[in-house]
A and B are shown apart, each in its own frame.
Chain A
Amino acid sequence: MERETAIQFKDVSKIYKLKRKDKEVSKDQKTQYFYALKDISFEVKKGQVLGILGTNGSGKSTMALVLSGIASPDEGEIVVNGEQALVAINTGLNKELTGLENIELKGALLGLPKKKIKEITDGVIEFAEIGDFLYQPVKKYSSGMKSRLGFSINLCLDPDILIIDEALSVGDKGFAKKCLARMNELKEDGKTIIFISHSLPQVREFCDTAMWLEGGKMKEYGAIEEVCDHYAEYIEHYHTLTKAEKKAEREEKFKERIIKNRKVSWIDRLFG
Protein backbone atom coordinates (compact mmCIF):
# COMPACT_ATOMS: atom_id res chain seq x y z
CA MET A 1 0.00 0.00 0.00
CA GLU A 2 1.45 3.32 -1.02
CA ARG A 3 1.07 5.89 1.72
CA GLU A 4 0.73 9.62 1.26
CA THR A 5 3.63 11.92 1.83
CA ALA A 6 3.55 13.88 5.07
CA ILE A 7 6.75 15.89 4.77
CA GLN A 8 9.11 16.27 1.88
CA PHE A 9 12.47 18.06 1.99
CA LYS A 10 14.12 19.09 -1.25
CA ASP A 11 17.77 20.14 -0.92
CA VAL A 12 17.04 22.04 2.25
CA SER A 13 19.80 24.13 3.81
CA LYS A 14 19.70 26.33 6.84
CA ILE A 15 22.38 28.94 7.25
CA TYR A 16 23.35 30.62 10.48
CA LYS A 17 25.38 33.73 10.81
CA LEU A 18 28.29 33.76 13.19
CA LYS A 19 29.44 37.12 14.37
CA ARG A 20 32.57 37.78 16.33
CA LYS A 21 32.33 40.72 18.62
CA ASP A 22 35.95 40.79 19.68
CA LYS A 23 38.35 43.01 17.79
CA GLU A 24 41.18 40.61 17.15
CA VAL A 25 40.08 39.36 13.74
CA SER A 26 40.10 41.30 10.50
CA LYS A 27 36.91 42.74 9.15
CA ASP A 28 35.95 40.10 6.57
CA GLN A 29 36.52 37.36 9.08
CA LYS A 30 34.13 38.91 11.52
CA THR A 31 30.96 37.60 9.98
CA GLN A 32 30.94 34.04 8.89
CA TYR A 33 28.13 31.99 7.49
CA PHE A 34 27.67 28.50 8.63
CA TYR A 35 25.58 25.60 7.40
CA ALA A 36 23.44 24.34 10.25
CA LEU A 37 21.87 21.94 7.76
CA LYS A 38 23.21 21.26 4.30
CA ASP A 39 21.43 19.88 1.24
CA ILE A 40 19.03 17.60 3.00
CA SER A 41 16.47 15.74 0.93
CA PHE A 42 14.14 13.10 2.24
CA GLU A 43 10.52 12.13 2.48
CA VAL A 44 8.38 11.08 5.41
CA LYS A 45 5.21 9.09 4.74
CA LYS A 46 2.02 9.45 6.72
CA GLY A 47 2.05 7.27 9.80
CA GLN A 48 5.80 6.83 9.71
CA VAL A 49 7.71 7.07 12.95
CA LEU A 50 11.09 8.56 12.24
CA GLY A 51 13.94 8.80 14.72
CA ILE A 52 16.61 11.41 14.16
CA LEU A 53 19.99 10.59 15.63
CA GLY A 54 23.11 12.63 15.89
CA THR A 55 25.79 13.86 18.24
CA ASN A 56 25.76 17.27 19.87
CA GLY A 57 25.81 20.12 17.40
CA SER A 58 24.96 17.99 14.42
CA GLY A 59 21.87 20.03 13.60
CA LYS A 60 19.16 18.03 15.34
CA SER A 61 17.49 20.96 17.03
CA THR A 62 17.65 23.06 13.90
CA MET A 63 16.05 20.14 12.12
CA ALA A 64 13.23 20.21 14.66
CA LEU A 65 12.67 23.92 14.10
CA VAL A 66 12.65 23.60 10.34
CA LEU A 67 10.42 20.53 10.44
CA SER A 68 7.88 22.27 12.63
CA GLY A 69 7.76 25.32 10.42
CA ILE A 70 9.04 27.71 13.09
CA ALA A 71 12.14 28.49 11.07
CA SER A 72 12.14 28.65 7.30
CA PRO A 73 15.01 27.20 5.27
CA ASP A 74 17.44 29.47 3.47
CA GLU A 75 17.75 27.20 0.47
CA GLY A 76 15.57 24.45 -0.88
CA GLU A 77 11.94 23.67 -0.44
CA ILE A 78 9.71 21.92 2.07
CA VAL A 79 6.33 20.43 1.32
CA VAL A 80 4.13 19.63 4.30
CA ASN A 81 0.75 17.92 4.27
CA GLY A 82 -1.04 18.41 7.55
CA GLU A 83 -0.32 20.38 10.66
CA GLN A 84 2.91 20.02 12.58
CA ALA A 85 3.48 20.62 16.26
CA LEU A 86 6.73 20.74 18.12
CA VAL A 87 6.64 19.47 21.68
CA ALA A 88 8.02 22.30 23.79
CA ILE A 89 8.22 21.30 27.40
CA ASN A 90 8.85 24.28 29.59
CA THR A 91 7.73 26.94 27.17
CA GLY A 92 4.85 29.16 28.11
CA LEU A 93 4.57 28.18 31.75
CA ASN A 94 4.27 31.18 34.02
CA LYS A 95 5.81 30.63 37.41
CA GLU A 96 3.45 32.93 39.25
CA LEU A 97 0.33 31.08 38.16
CA THR A 98 -1.02 27.86 39.59
CA GLY A 99 -0.84 24.54 37.80
CA LEU A 100 -4.47 24.71 36.78
CA GLU A 101 -4.14 28.23 35.39
CA ASN A 102 -1.04 27.17 33.54
CA ILE A 103 -2.91 24.36 31.85
CA GLU A 104 -5.37 26.92 30.57
CA LEU A 105 -2.67 29.38 29.58
CA LYS A 106 -0.51 26.88 27.78
CA GLY A 107 -3.53 25.36 26.13
CA ALA A 108 -4.44 28.77 24.82
CA LEU A 109 -0.87 29.45 23.71
CA LEU A 110 -0.95 26.23 21.75
CA GLY A 111 -4.13 27.41 20.12
CA LEU A 112 -6.66 25.05 21.64
CA PRO A 113 -10.25 26.26 21.81
CA LYS A 114 -11.84 26.80 25.23
CA LYS A 115 -13.93 23.66 25.08
CA LYS A 116 -11.00 21.45 24.21
CA ILE A 117 -8.96 22.85 27.11
CA LYS A 118 -11.74 21.94 29.54
CA GLU A 119 -11.83 18.46 28.08
CA ILE A 120 -8.14 17.80 28.47
CA THR A 121 -7.69 19.37 31.91
CA ASP A 122 -8.54 16.24 33.90
CA GLY A 123 -6.39 14.09 31.67
CA VAL A 124 -3.42 16.42 32.06
CA ILE A 125 -3.76 16.56 35.84
CA GLU A 126 -3.80 12.83 36.04
CA PHE A 127 -1.01 12.28 33.57
CA ALA A 128 1.32 14.85 35.09
CA GLU A 129 0.93 13.39 38.58
CA ILE A 130 0.98 16.78 40.24
CA GLY A 131 -1.77 15.97 42.74
CA ASP A 132 -2.16 18.53 45.52
CA PHE A 133 0.22 20.93 43.87
CA LEU A 134 -2.45 21.79 41.31
CA TYR A 135 -3.44 24.94 43.19
CA GLN A 136 0.11 26.00 44.00
CA PRO A 137 2.03 28.47 41.88
CA VAL A 138 4.42 26.75 39.52
CA LYS A 139 7.41 28.47 41.12
CA LYS A 140 6.97 26.06 44.04
CA TYR A 141 7.22 23.03 41.75
CA SER A 142 10.24 20.82 41.47
CA SER A 143 11.84 20.88 38.04
CA GLY A 144 10.60 17.38 37.29
CA MET A 145 7.07 18.39 38.13
CA LYS A 146 7.27 21.43 35.90
CA SER A 147 8.49 19.38 32.98
CA ARG A 148 5.83 16.77 33.55
CA LEU A 149 3.13 19.42 33.53
CA GLY A 150 4.46 21.01 30.34
CA PHE A 151 4.92 17.71 28.60
CA SER A 152 1.48 16.43 29.52
CA ILE A 153 -0.22 19.46 28.02
CA ASN A 154 1.75 18.96 24.84
CA LEU A 155 0.78 15.33 24.54
CA CYS A 156 -2.88 16.26 24.58
CA LEU A 157 -2.45 18.15 21.35
CA ASP A 158 -3.90 16.54 18.31
CA PRO A 159 -1.69 17.44 15.36
CA ASP A 160 -1.11 15.34 12.26
CA ILE A 161 2.63 15.48 12.63
CA LEU A 162 4.25 15.45 16.03
CA ILE A 163 7.85 16.49 16.50
CA ILE A 164 9.51 15.59 19.77
CA ASP A 165 12.92 17.02 20.55
CA GLU A 166 14.77 15.39 23.45
CA ALA A 167 11.58 15.40 25.45
CA LEU A 168 11.93 12.11 27.23
CA SER A 169 14.94 13.23 29.17
CA VAL A 170 12.54 14.83 31.66
CA GLY A 171 11.23 13.09 34.72
CA ASP A 172 12.18 9.71 36.08
CA LYS A 173 12.07 6.34 34.35
CA GLY A 174 8.48 5.72 35.33
CA PHE A 175 7.34 8.91 33.70
CA ALA A 176 9.38 8.25 30.57
CA LYS A 177 7.70 4.87 30.31
CA LYS A 178 4.30 6.49 30.61
CA CYS A 179 5.19 8.97 27.91
CA LEU A 180 6.36 6.20 25.61
CA ALA A 181 3.07 4.40 26.20
CA ARG A 182 1.14 7.54 25.30
CA MET A 183 3.27 8.06 22.24
CA ASN A 184 2.65 4.49 21.19
CA GLU A 185 -1.06 5.23 21.39
CA LEU A 186 -0.55 8.19 19.07
CA LYS A 187 1.46 5.92 16.79
CA GLU A 188 -1.39 3.47 16.59
CA ASP A 189 -3.74 6.31 15.72
CA GLY A 190 -1.67 6.68 12.58
CA LYS A 191 0.04 9.95 13.47
CA THR A 192 3.31 10.84 11.87
CA ILE A 193 5.88 11.17 14.61
CA ILE A 194 9.39 12.50 14.39
CA PHE A 195 11.42 11.64 17.41
CA ILE A 196 14.68 13.45 17.96
CA SER A 197 17.01 12.00 20.52
CA HIS A 198 20.50 10.83 21.16
CA SER A 199 19.32 7.94 23.20
CA LEU A 200 19.76 4.91 20.97
CA PRO A 201 17.68 2.44 22.98
CA GLN A 202 14.62 4.71 22.95
CA VAL A 203 14.88 5.29 19.23
CA ARG A 204 15.35 1.58 18.55
CA GLU A 205 12.33 0.71 20.62
CA PHE A 206 9.99 3.34 19.31
CA CYS A 207 10.76 4.21 15.69
CA ASP A 208 10.46 2.30 12.45
CA THR A 209 12.88 4.39 10.40
CA ALA A 210 15.85 6.48 11.36
CA MET A 211 17.96 9.31 10.08
CA TRP A 212 21.50 10.03 11.12
CA LEU A 213 22.65 13.62 11.02
CA GLU A 214 26.32 14.39 11.23
CA GLY A 215 27.87 17.82 10.85
CA GLY A 216 24.70 19.29 9.39
CA LYS A 217 24.50 16.66 6.66
CA MET A 218 22.35 13.63 6.35
CA LYS A 219 24.64 10.66 6.66
CA GLU A 220 22.15 7.89 6.44
CA TYR A 221 18.42 7.43 6.14
CA GLY A 222 16.67 4.10 6.17
CA ALA A 223 15.41 1.18 8.20
CA ILE A 224 15.83 1.50 11.92
CA GLU A 225 18.17 -1.42 12.61
CA GLU A 226 20.68 -0.57 9.95
CA VAL A 227 21.04 3.10 10.78
CA CYS A 228 21.16 2.47 14.51
CA ASP A 229 23.87 -0.14 14.11
CA HIS A 230 25.99 2.15 12.00
CA TYR A 231 25.46 5.01 14.41
CA ALA A 232 26.43 2.85 17.37
CA GLU A 233 29.57 1.79 15.55
CA TYR A 234 30.46 5.38 14.86
CA ILE A 235 29.94 6.41 18.47
CA GLU A 236 32.16 3.59 19.64
CA HIS A 237 34.79 4.52 17.11
CA TYR A 238 34.60 8.14 18.22
CA HIS A 239 35.11 7.18 21.84
CA THR A 240 38.29 5.25 21.04
CA LEU A 241 39.90 8.37 19.59
CA THR A 242 42.35 10.34 21.67
CA LYS A 243 41.52 13.86 22.79
CA ALA A 244 43.61 15.46 20.05
CA GLU A 245 42.06 13.30 17.36
CA LYS A 246 38.59 14.15 18.56
CA LYS A 247 39.40 17.80 18.43
CA ALA A 248 40.84 17.50 14.93
CA GLU A 249 37.72 15.73 13.73
CA ARG A 250 35.45 18.36 15.24
CA GLU A 251 37.42 21.16 13.63
CA GLU A 252 37.42 19.38 10.31
CA LYS A 253 33.65 19.16 10.42
CA PHE A 254 33.28 22.76 11.45
CA LYS A 255 35.43 23.95 8.56
CA GLU A 256 33.35 22.04 6.08
CA ARG A 257 30.26 23.84 7.26
CA ILE A 258 31.64 27.36 6.88
CA ILE A 259 30.54 29.04 3.71
CA LYS A 260 33.21 31.00 1.91
CA ASN A 261 32.53 34.23 0.07
CA ARG A 262 28.81 34.28 0.54
CA LYS A 263 27.27 37.23 -1.21
CA VAL A 264 24.69 39.00 0.86
CA SER A 265 22.63 41.91 -0.33
CA TRP A 266 22.84 45.03 1.78
CA ILE A 267 19.22 44.68 2.78
CA ASP A 268 19.82 41.28 4.37
CA ARG A 269 22.90 42.64 6.01
CA LEU A 270 20.87 45.44 7.51
CA PHE A 271 18.21 43.09 8.81
CA GLY A 272 20.55 40.30 9.82
Chain B
Amino acid sequence: MFTSAKYVLNENYQNFHRIVSISKYELLAEMRESKLGVFWNFANPAIQVLTYWFVFGYVFNRKDVHDIPYLVWMLGGMVVWFFISPCITDGCNSVYRKVNVITKMKFPVSILPMTVVLEKMFDQFCLFIIMIVIFATQGYYPDLHWLGLIYYLFCAIVFSVSLSLTTSVLNMLARDTRKLILACMRLLLYLTPILWNIERVGQGKVSKIIMCNPIYYLVQGYRDCFFYHRGFAAYGWSMAWFWGITLALFFFGSYMMYKFKTRFIDMI
Protein backbone atom coordinates (compact mmCIF):
# COMPACT_ATOMS: atom_id res chain seq x y z
CA MET B 1 0.00 0.00 0.00
CA PHE B 2 2.60 2.53 1.05
CA THR B 3 5.11 1.33 -1.50
CA SER B 4 2.69 2.13 -4.27
CA ALA B 5 1.89 5.57 -2.84
CA LYS B 6 5.60 6.25 -2.49
CA TYR B 7 6.17 5.03 -6.02
CA VAL B 8 3.57 7.40 -7.47
CA LEU B 9 4.77 10.38 -5.46
CA ASN B 10 8.36 9.71 -6.38
CA GLU B 11 7.56 9.33 -10.06
CA ASN B 12 5.64 12.61 -10.08
CA TYR B 13 8.42 14.40 -8.27
CA GLN B 14 11.24 13.05 -10.43
CA ASN B 15 9.47 13.77 -13.68
CA PHE B 16 8.38 17.27 -12.87
CA HIS B 17 10.00 18.69 -15.97
CA ARG B 18 8.24 16.09 -18.08
CA ILE B 19 4.87 17.03 -16.58
CA VAL B 20 5.37 20.74 -17.21
CA SER B 21 6.54 20.21 -20.80
CA ILE B 22 3.72 17.88 -21.68
CA SER B 23 1.09 20.26 -20.32
CA LYS B 24 2.70 23.25 -21.93
CA TYR B 25 2.87 21.76 -25.39
CA GLU B 26 -0.53 20.16 -25.08
CA LEU B 27 -1.98 23.59 -24.39
CA LEU B 28 0.04 25.18 -27.14
CA ALA B 29 -1.07 22.57 -29.66
CA GLU B 30 -4.68 23.13 -28.70
CA MET B 31 -4.32 26.86 -29.24
CA ARG B 32 -2.64 26.38 -32.60
CA GLU B 33 -5.59 24.35 -33.79
CA SER B 34 -7.85 27.38 -33.85
CA LYS B 35 -7.23 30.77 -35.40
CA LEU B 36 -8.19 32.74 -32.32
CA GLY B 37 -6.22 30.50 -29.96
CA VAL B 38 -6.13 31.83 -26.42
CA PHE B 39 -9.31 33.86 -27.00
CA TRP B 40 -11.34 30.68 -26.55
CA ASN B 41 -9.79 29.98 -23.18
CA PHE B 42 -11.52 33.18 -22.06
CA ALA B 43 -14.63 33.08 -24.22
CA ASN B 44 -15.73 29.55 -23.34
CA PRO B 45 -16.09 29.99 -19.59
CA ALA B 46 -17.48 33.52 -20.04
CA ILE B 47 -20.27 32.26 -22.28
CA GLN B 48 -21.03 29.44 -19.88
CA VAL B 49 -21.23 31.78 -16.90
CA LEU B 50 -23.54 34.04 -18.88
CA THR B 51 -25.83 31.12 -19.72
CA TYR B 52 -26.21 30.04 -16.10
CA TRP B 53 -26.70 33.59 -14.98
CA PHE B 54 -29.35 34.15 -17.66
CA VAL B 55 -31.31 31.03 -16.74
CA PHE B 56 -31.07 31.20 -12.97
CA GLY B 57 -30.43 34.85 -12.26
CA TYR B 58 -32.60 36.47 -14.90
CA VAL B 59 -35.35 34.06 -15.98
CA PHE B 60 -35.94 32.45 -12.57
CA ASN B 61 -34.97 35.70 -10.93
CA ARG B 62 -33.10 34.26 -7.98
CA LYS B 63 -32.85 36.63 -5.01
CA ASP B 64 -29.60 37.82 -3.52
CA VAL B 65 -28.00 35.25 -1.23
CA HIS B 66 -26.94 36.68 2.13
CA ASP B 67 -27.12 40.15 0.57
CA ILE B 68 -24.70 39.13 -2.16
CA PRO B 69 -25.91 39.66 -5.74
CA TYR B 70 -26.82 36.30 -7.28
CA LEU B 71 -24.38 36.55 -10.19
CA VAL B 72 -21.47 37.25 -7.87
CA TRP B 73 -22.49 34.57 -5.38
CA MET B 74 -22.95 31.97 -8.12
CA LEU B 75 -19.67 32.83 -9.78
CA GLY B 76 -17.82 32.48 -6.47
CA GLY B 77 -18.76 28.78 -6.39
CA MET B 78 -18.84 28.19 -10.12
CA VAL B 79 -15.16 29.06 -10.49
CA VAL B 80 -13.97 25.92 -8.75
CA TRP B 81 -16.50 23.79 -10.60
CA PHE B 82 -15.11 25.00 -13.91
CA PHE B 83 -11.74 23.76 -12.74
CA ILE B 84 -12.61 20.47 -11.16
CA SER B 85 -15.17 19.26 -13.67
CA PRO B 86 -12.85 19.19 -16.72
CA CYS B 87 -10.09 17.85 -14.48
CA ILE B 88 -12.23 14.86 -13.56
CA THR B 89 -13.62 14.15 -17.02
CA ASP B 90 -10.31 14.62 -18.85
CA GLY B 91 -8.29 13.08 -16.05
CA CYS B 92 -10.28 9.91 -16.55
CA ASN B 93 -9.16 9.89 -20.16
CA SER B 94 -5.57 10.91 -19.41
CA VAL B 95 -3.97 7.50 -19.80
CA TYR B 96 -6.11 6.39 -22.71
CA ARG B 97 -5.43 9.44 -24.83
CA LYS B 98 -1.69 8.83 -24.52
CA VAL B 99 -2.00 5.18 -25.41
CA ASN B 100 0.28 5.48 -28.43
CA VAL B 101 2.98 6.92 -26.19
CA ILE B 102 2.79 4.45 -23.33
CA THR B 103 2.78 1.44 -25.63
CA LYS B 104 5.77 2.65 -27.62
CA MET B 105 8.17 3.93 -25.01
CA LYS B 106 9.01 3.49 -21.40
CA PHE B 107 6.90 6.10 -19.76
CA PRO B 108 5.93 6.90 -16.18
CA VAL B 109 2.19 6.49 -16.55
CA SER B 110 1.29 7.84 -13.13
CA ILE B 111 2.27 11.39 -14.11
CA LEU B 112 -0.49 11.62 -16.70
CA PRO B 113 -3.31 12.72 -14.37
CA MET B 114 -1.05 15.50 -13.11
CA THR B 115 -0.40 16.77 -16.65
CA VAL B 116 -4.13 17.12 -17.23
CA VAL B 117 -4.64 19.02 -13.99
CA LEU B 118 -1.80 21.36 -14.82
CA GLU B 119 -3.29 22.01 -18.22
CA LYS B 120 -6.62 22.91 -16.66
CA MET B 121 -4.89 25.27 -14.24
CA PHE B 122 -4.30 27.60 -17.15
CA ASP B 123 -8.02 27.77 -17.87
CA GLN B 124 -8.62 28.35 -14.19
CA PHE B 125 -6.39 31.43 -14.25
CA CYS B 126 -8.15 32.74 -17.35
CA LEU B 127 -11.46 32.36 -15.56
CA PHE B 128 -10.04 34.08 -12.49
CA ILE B 129 -9.29 37.14 -14.56
CA ILE B 130 -12.85 37.24 -15.89
CA MET B 131 -14.15 36.76 -12.39
CA ILE B 132 -12.09 39.57 -10.92
CA VAL B 133 -13.47 41.91 -13.56
CA ILE B 134 -17.08 40.92 -12.88
CA PHE B 135 -16.56 41.13 -9.12
CA ALA B 136 -15.05 44.59 -9.46
CA THR B 137 -18.10 45.86 -11.37
CA GLN B 138 -20.26 44.68 -8.46
CA GLY B 139 -18.05 46.26 -5.81
CA TYR B 140 -16.11 43.20 -4.64
CA TYR B 141 -12.38 43.68 -4.70
CA PRO B 142 -9.54 41.25 -3.95
CA ASP B 143 -8.40 41.35 -0.32
CA LEU B 144 -6.24 39.35 2.05
CA HIS B 145 -8.93 36.72 2.64
CA TRP B 146 -8.47 35.66 -0.96
CA LEU B 147 -5.13 34.11 0.02
CA GLY B 148 -7.18 31.20 1.36
CA LEU B 149 -7.92 30.37 -2.25
CA ILE B 150 -4.39 29.03 -2.58
CA TYR B 151 -5.20 26.38 -0.01
CA TYR B 152 -8.50 25.49 -1.65
CA LEU B 153 -6.93 25.37 -5.09
CA PHE B 154 -4.34 23.00 -3.65
CA CYS B 155 -7.17 20.87 -2.26
CA ALA B 156 -8.84 20.83 -5.66
CA ILE B 157 -5.61 19.75 -7.34
CA VAL B 158 -4.92 16.93 -4.89
CA PHE B 159 -8.50 15.76 -5.08
CA SER B 160 -8.66 15.67 -8.87
CA VAL B 161 -5.29 13.95 -9.19
CA SER B 162 -6.28 11.32 -6.62
CA LEU B 163 -9.58 10.67 -8.31
CA SER B 164 -8.02 10.62 -11.78
CA LEU B 165 -5.41 8.07 -10.69
CA THR B 166 -8.24 5.68 -9.99
CA THR B 167 -10.55 6.51 -12.86
CA SER B 168 -7.84 6.62 -15.52
CA VAL B 169 -6.79 3.05 -14.70
CA LEU B 170 -10.41 1.90 -14.58
CA ASN B 171 -10.92 3.59 -17.93
CA MET B 172 -8.14 1.48 -19.39
CA LEU B 173 -9.82 -1.66 -18.09
CA ALA B 174 -13.19 -0.66 -19.47
CA ARG B 175 -13.92 2.42 -21.52
CA ASP B 176 -17.34 2.54 -19.91
CA THR B 177 -15.77 4.37 -16.98
CA ARG B 178 -15.50 7.58 -18.93
CA LYS B 179 -19.10 7.42 -20.06
CA LEU B 180 -20.19 6.84 -16.50
CA ILE B 181 -18.11 9.75 -15.25
CA LEU B 182 -19.48 12.08 -17.90
CA ALA B 183 -23.03 11.22 -16.92
CA CYS B 184 -22.26 11.60 -13.23
CA MET B 185 -20.64 14.99 -13.71
CA ARG B 186 -23.71 16.35 -15.45
CA LEU B 187 -25.79 15.21 -12.52
CA LEU B 188 -23.31 16.45 -9.98
CA LEU B 189 -23.43 20.03 -11.25
CA TYR B 190 -27.02 20.26 -10.03
CA LEU B 191 -26.57 18.10 -6.94
CA THR B 192 -23.75 20.27 -5.65
CA PRO B 193 -24.96 23.54 -4.14
CA ILE B 194 -23.37 25.74 -6.79
CA LEU B 195 -26.39 27.24 -8.50
CA TRP B 196 -28.54 27.13 -5.36
CA ASN B 197 -27.90 27.72 -1.68
CA ILE B 198 -27.71 24.69 0.61
CA GLU B 199 -30.06 26.38 3.10
CA ARG B 200 -32.91 25.84 0.65
CA VAL B 201 -33.03 22.10 1.43
CA GLY B 202 -33.30 22.67 5.18
CA GLN B 203 -31.29 20.97 7.91
CA GLY B 204 -32.49 17.39 7.45
CA LYS B 205 -31.01 14.26 6.00
CA VAL B 206 -30.92 15.63 2.46
CA SER B 207 -28.62 18.44 3.43
CA LYS B 208 -26.35 16.00 5.29
CA ILE B 209 -26.07 13.79 2.22
CA ILE B 210 -25.33 16.75 -0.01
CA MET B 211 -22.61 17.92 2.37
CA CYS B 212 -20.89 14.53 1.98
CA ASN B 213 -19.92 15.51 -1.53
CA PRO B 214 -16.23 16.43 -1.36
CA ILE B 215 -16.67 19.01 -4.10
CA TYR B 216 -19.05 20.86 -1.81
CA TYR B 217 -16.17 21.46 0.59
CA LEU B 218 -14.29 23.23 -2.19
CA VAL B 219 -17.28 25.30 -3.31
CA GLN B 220 -17.96 26.28 0.28
CA GLY B 221 -14.29 27.12 0.79
CA TYR B 222 -14.10 29.35 -2.27
CA ARG B 223 -17.21 31.21 -1.20
CA ASP B 224 -15.85 31.57 2.30
CA CYS B 225 -12.73 33.24 0.97
CA PHE B 226 -14.75 35.60 -1.21
CA PHE B 227 -17.66 36.58 1.02
CA TYR B 228 -18.03 35.03 4.44
CA HIS B 229 -14.49 35.08 5.89
CA ARG B 230 -15.13 32.46 8.56
CA GLY B 231 -11.72 30.83 8.15
CA PHE B 232 -10.62 27.22 7.70
CA ALA B 233 -11.52 26.13 11.23
CA ALA B 234 -15.23 26.85 10.72
CA TYR B 235 -15.42 23.87 8.39
CA GLY B 236 -13.46 21.40 10.50
CA TRP B 237 -15.71 18.39 9.93
CA SER B 238 -16.01 19.01 6.21
CA MET B 239 -12.26 19.35 6.04
CA ALA B 240 -11.63 16.05 7.83
CA TRP B 241 -14.17 14.32 5.62
CA PHE B 242 -12.70 15.82 2.46
CA TRP B 243 -9.13 14.83 3.26
CA GLY B 244 -10.25 11.40 4.38
CA ILE B 245 -11.89 10.73 1.03
CA THR B 246 -9.03 12.27 -0.91
CA LEU B 247 -6.38 10.21 0.85
CA ALA B 248 -8.40 7.03 0.43
CA LEU B 249 -8.73 7.76 -3.28
CA PHE B 250 -5.05 8.54 -3.54
CA PHE B 251 -3.96 5.30 -1.91
CA PHE B 252 -6.37 3.25 -3.94
CA GLY B 253 -5.40 5.04 -7.17
CA SER B 254 -1.69 4.58 -6.51
CA TYR B 255 -2.25 0.93 -5.77
CA MET B 256 -4.05 0.48 -9.09
CA MET B 257 -1.35 2.38 -10.98
CA TYR B 258 1.37 0.32 -9.37
CA LYS B 259 -0.39 -2.95 -10.01
CA PHE B 260 -1.14 -2.25 -13.64
CA LYS B 261 1.90 -0.24 -14.64
CA THR B 262 3.25 -2.85 -17.06
CA ARG B 263 -0.16 -4.22 -17.98
CA PHE B 264 -1.57 -1.23 -19.85
CA ILE B 265 -0.33 -2.53 -23.15
CA ASP B 266 -2.44 -5.67 -22.81
CA MET B 267 -5.57 -3.64 -22.26
CA ILE B 268 -5.97 -1.87 -25.56
Q: Which residues of A contact B (CB under 8 A)?
A: 16-17, 65, 68-72, 84-86, 88, 91-92, 94, 96-97, 101, 104-105, 107-111, 113-114, 137, 271-272
Contact = CB atoms under 8 A, between A and B. Distances in A.
B105 interface: yes
B101 A104 contact: no
A105 B104 contact: no
A70 B105 contact: yes
Contacts of A272: 266
A164 to B, nearest CB: 13
B17 A97 contact: no
B21 interface: yes
Given A70-B106, A271-B173, A91 B25 contact: no
Interface in B237-251: none
A271 B260 CA distance: 10
Contact of A72 (B22, B105, B263): B263
Contact of B105 (A85, A108, A113, A114): A85
B103 interface: yes
B265 interface: yes
A12 to B, nearest CB: 13
A163 B170 CA distance: 30
Q: Which 5 A-B pairs have the closest CB atoms?
A: A108-B21, A72-B262, A88-B104, A91-B104, A96-B29
Contacts of A94: 25-26, 29
A108 B260 CA distance: 23
A126 to B, nearest CB: 22
A109 B32 contact: no
A88 B106 CA distance: 10
B33 interface: yes
5 contacts: A70-B103, A101-B28, A107-B21, A108-B25, A272-B266
Contacts of B108: 111
Contact of B266 (A16, A88, A137): A16
Interface of B is mostly: helix
Given A68-B106, A91-B105, A108-B25, 8 more contacts: A16-B266, A70-B262, A71-B262, A88-B105, A94-B29, A97-B32, A104-B21, A109-B18
B32 A86 contact: no
A104 B23 CA distance: 12
Interface residues of B, number: 27
Contacts of A104: 21, 25
Interface of B: 15, 17-18, 21-22, 25-26, 28-30, 32-33, 100-108, 173, 260, 262-263, 265-266
Report which residue of B26, B29, B263 has the largest number of chain A beta carbons within 10 angstroms of its beta carbon: B29
Contacts of A105: 21-22, 25
A109 B105 contact: yes
A69 B263 CA distance: 11
Given A65-B265, A69-B262, A96 B33 contact: yes
B106 A84 contact: yes
A101 B101 CA distance: 17
Given A65-B265, A91-B100, A108-B18, A86 B25 contact: no
Report which residue of B17, B33, B106 has the largest number of chain A beta carbons within 10 angstroms of its beta carbon: B106
Contacts of A71: 262, 265-266
Given A104-B25, A109-B18, A96 B105 contact: no
B106 A86 contact: yes
Nearest to B30: A96
Contacts of B32: 96-97, 137
Contacts of B25: 94, 97, 101, 104-105, 108
A99 B163 CA distance: 35
Given A70-B265, A85-B106, A109 B101 contact: yes
